[in-house]
C-alpha cells in the first residue's frame, strides 16, 4: 500500500483533463484543487517524519515501480498539453475559461513536467536525462538542466545563487531576478564547459544552442498545426509552468545562507541549507521534493529514499500552502522571517556591509 501512494500525484493531471473537458467554471478545477483544497487538507492532515529502515530502503531502492511512475508523466504531460492547445484553438471559449485553462495546463507543466524533470535530471542514465529535457521543453526551461545541476547545487544558499531567495526579497522580485539570473548563469556554465572540452561556441556539444533550437522547433510545430493563437497560448502556459517552478525555488531556500570560510570558499551544503516539509500530501504530490534538505545533502538519492533530518529548518506548512502564502509578501515575511536562523541573518548583514 505504501508503494502506491505516489499514484496520488496523478490527481493533478486527472483534474486537468476534467477541467479541459468540462470547461466553464470547471476549467479552474486544477488551480482550486492544488492551491485551495490541498492546503486545507494539509492543515488537517498529519506530518510524517519517519525515515525508512535499512530493509525498507534496500527494497525500495531497486523497485522499478517508482521509476515507472516518473516515466509515465512524459506521455501524460504531452497529451494534456496537446489536448489543451486543441481545445483552446477549436472551441469558442470565454475569457474566464481561457484563464482557467492556461493556469490548469501551466500547473501540469510545472508539477508533472518540471518537477519530474528535476528528479530525472539527477539520474545517471541517458534515457532519463532525455526525458527530463523533454519535460522541460514546453515550459521553455531546458537551460534549467544545466544551471540546476552545475550551478544551483554548488551555490545554493549563497548570494551568488540566483535560485536562492534573499532575506526580505518578495516572490515577485525573485521571479524577475531568478528567471534572468538562472538563464545567464546557464550560459556562463555552458561556455566554461565548452572551454574545458576544447570546443568553440558553435559546437555539437553546446547544449544551450540545442535547447534554443528545440524550443523554437516546438513553437514552430504548434504554429503549423494551431496558428499564431496556438503559439501565444503555448507561451502563456509555459510561463505559468516556469513561474510555478520559481515559486517553489523561492520557498526552498528563502533567507538561508552558508558560512564563507577565510579561504573565500563556502562551507559545504548540509541539511540546514534548505527548508524541509514533512506534510504528507505535499510530499506525495511532488514526489518528495519537500524533503529538499536531504536532496541537497545527497542529490543523487532517489525521491522514495529521501530522509527527514531534525536539524533541517522546517516550514510551518506544506509546499502547496507555502506557495499560496508566498503570493502575499507581508504575510510570508511575518511567518517566515522569524524562522530564519539568526546566525544566517547576521551573515547576510555582514555580506551587505562588505559590499558597501
DSSP assignment of 92-145, as one string? ---HHHHHHHHHHHHHHIIIIIIIHHHHHTTSSSHHHHHHHHHHHGGGT-THHH
pLDDT of residue 62: 85
Put residue 140 in one of left, alpha, beta given phi > 0 → left and psi -120 to 50 → alpha: left
User: Cβ distance 272 to 300 under 8 Å?
Assistant: no
User: Cβ distance 317 to 339 under 8 Å?
Assistant: no
- Examine the pLDDT at 80 and tell me if it is beyond 90: yes
DSSP assignment of 220-275, as one string? HHHHHHHHHHHHHHHHHHHHHHHHHHHHHHHHHHTT--PPBPTTSPBPPP-TTSS-
- Examine the pLDDT at 206 and tell me if it is beyond 90: yes
Q: What is the pLDDT of residues 156-196, one digit of tens each?
A: 999 999 999 999 999 999 999 999 999 999 999 999 999 99
pLDDT of residue 351: 45
DSSP collapsed to 3 states, 273-286: CCCECCEHHHHHHC
What letter would DSSP give residue 343? H
Rounded-to-integer distance, Cα 192 and Cα 206, Å: 11
Which residue is it, cell 509515465?
72
Rounded-to-integer distance, Cα 327 and Cα 284, Å: 23
SS3 content of the chain, % helix, strand, coil (to 5): 70, 0, 30
260: phi then psi, degrees, rounded to nearest 5: -100, 130
- Examine the pLDDT at 227 and tell me if it is beyond 90: yes
β-bridge mates for residue 279, sequence order: 47
Rounded-to-integer distance, Cα 354 and Cα 356, Å: 5
pLDDT band at 343 (very low <50, low <70, confident <90, very high): confident
* Residue 205: count of CB within 10 angstroms of its CB: 13
| Mean of the per-residue pLDDT values of the chain | 94
| Cα separation values, 318 from 38, 114, 248, Å | 9, 19, 11
What letter would DSSP give residue 337? G
Q: Indicate the pTM of the whole model.
A: 0.94
pLDDT band at 262 (very low <50, low <70, confident <90, very high): confident
Over residues 308-329, the mean pLDDT reads: 96
C-alpha radius of gyration, the chain, whole number: 20
Over residues 261-265, the mean pLDDT reads: 82
Amino acid at each position: 500500500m505504501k508503494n502506491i501512494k505516489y499514484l496520488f500525484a496523478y490527481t493533478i493531471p486527472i483534474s486537468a483533463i476534467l477541467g479541459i473537458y468540462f470547461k466553464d467554471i470547471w476549467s479552474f478545477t486544477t488551480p482550486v484543487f492544488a492551491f485551495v483544497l490541498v492546503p486545507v487538507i494539509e492543515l488537517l492532515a498529519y506530518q510524517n517524519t519517519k525515515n525508512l529502515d535499512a530493509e525498507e530502503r534496500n527494497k525500495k531502492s531497486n523497485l522499478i515501480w517508482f521509476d515507472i511512475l516518473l516515466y509515465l508523466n512524459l506521455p501524460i504531460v504531452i497529451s494534456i498539453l496537446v489536448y489543451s492547445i486543441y481545445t483552446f484553438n477549436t472551441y469558442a471559449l470565454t475569457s474566464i475559461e481561457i484563464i482557467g485553462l492556461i493556469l490548469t495546463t501551466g500547473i501540469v507543466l510545472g508539477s508533472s513536467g518540471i518537477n519530474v524533470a528535476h528528479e530525472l535530471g539527477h539520474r545517471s542514465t541517458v534515457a532519463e536525462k532525455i526525458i527530463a529535457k523533454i519535460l522541460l521543453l514546453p515550459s521553455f526551461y531546458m537551460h534549467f538542466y544545466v544551471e540546476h545541476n552545475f550551478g544551483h547545487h554548488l551555490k545554493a544558499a549563497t548570494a551568488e545563487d540566483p535560485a536562492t531567495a534573499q532575506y526580505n526579497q518578495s516572490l515577485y522580485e525573485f521571479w524577475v531576478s531568478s528567471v534572468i539570473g538562472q538563464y545567464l548563469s546557464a550560459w556562463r556554465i555552458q561556455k566554461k564547459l565548452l572551454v574545458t572540452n576544447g570546443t568553440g561556441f558553435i559546437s555539437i556539444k553546446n547544449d544551450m544552442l540545442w535547447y534554443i533550437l528545440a524550443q523554437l522547433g516546438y513553437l514552430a510545430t504548434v504554429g503549423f498545426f494551431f496558428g499564431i493563437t496556438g503559439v501565444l497560448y503555448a507561451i502563456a502556459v509555459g510561463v505559468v509552468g516556469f513561474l510555478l517552478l520559481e515559486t517553489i525555488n523561492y520557498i526552498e531556500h528563502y533567507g538561508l545562507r552558508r558560512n564563507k570560510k577565510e579561504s573565500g570558499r563556502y562551507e559545504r551544503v548540509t541539511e540546514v541549507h534548505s527548508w524541509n516539509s514533512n506534510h504528507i500530501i505535499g510530499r506525495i504530490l511532488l514526489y518528495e521534493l519537500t524533503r529538499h534538505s536531504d536532496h541537497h545533502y545527497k542529490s543523487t538519492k532517489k525521491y522514495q529514499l529521501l530522509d527527514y533530518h531534525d536539524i533541517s529548518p522546517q516550514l510551518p506548512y506544506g509546499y502547496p500552502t507555502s506557495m499560496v502564502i508566498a503570493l502575499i509578501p507581508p504575510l510570508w515575511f511575518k511567518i517566515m522571517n522569524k524562522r530564519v536562523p539568526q546566525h544566517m541573518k547576521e551573515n547576510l548583514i555582514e555580506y551587505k556591509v562588505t559590499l558597501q
